[in-house]
Amino acid sequence: MAISTAAAKAKGRALQQKVRDAILAKYPDLTPDDVRSTPMGCNGEDIQLSTAAKRAFPFSVECKARKAIALIYDALTQAKGQNDLTPIAVVKADRKEPLVVLSLDDFMRLINPAYS
C-alpha cells in the first residue's frame, strides 16, 4: 500500500525537526533562528544554518525518511551486536561512492562530546 503524499511529507518533516532539535541540543549557544527546518518542497538543504551555526556544525543536511532504506538498518543492527564500539554501516550502490551510516545520536556524540 502506497503512503499518501501528506503522510510522506509529515514523515519527512518529523525527521527534519528531530535533526534540528538534536543540533540545538548539542550546541546550546545556537538559537532556533540559527538552525531551521525548511518547509517541505523548498529547494536546497533540509536544515538551514546561520553563519554561526555553520561554524559550529559544518555539515549540509539532507533528510530522507523512506521505507526503501530498510536494509541499511539491518547492517547497522548487525554492527551493534559485535561489541561495545560505535556501530557504523558502510553501504555502496552500483557506480556510487561508499557511504558511512551511523545513528543520529552516535553522530552527535562524535562531533560534540562536550554535550553528551
42-61 per-position pLDDT tens digit:
888 999 999 999 999 999 99
Task: Indicate the SS3 state at residue 37.
Answer: strand
Distances (CA, A) of 75 to 78, 81, 100: 5, 10, 11
pLDDT of residue 115: 60
pLDDT of residue 31: 97
Mean pLDDT of the chain: 90
How is the chain split into domains, by residue range? 1-64, 66-116
pLDDT of residue 116: 59
**Number of H-type helices and E-type strands within the chain:** 4, 4
Is pLDDT at 114 greater than 90 in this prediction? no
**Model-level pTM?**
0.84
Using the CB atoms, write b or e for 37-51: b if 16+ within 10 Å.
bbeeeeeeebbbbee
**Residues facing residue 37 across a β-bridge:** 47
CB 44 within 8 A of CB 62: no
Provide mean pLDDT across the span 64-77. 88
pLDDT of residue 101: 95
**Sole residue written with cell 551555526:** 53
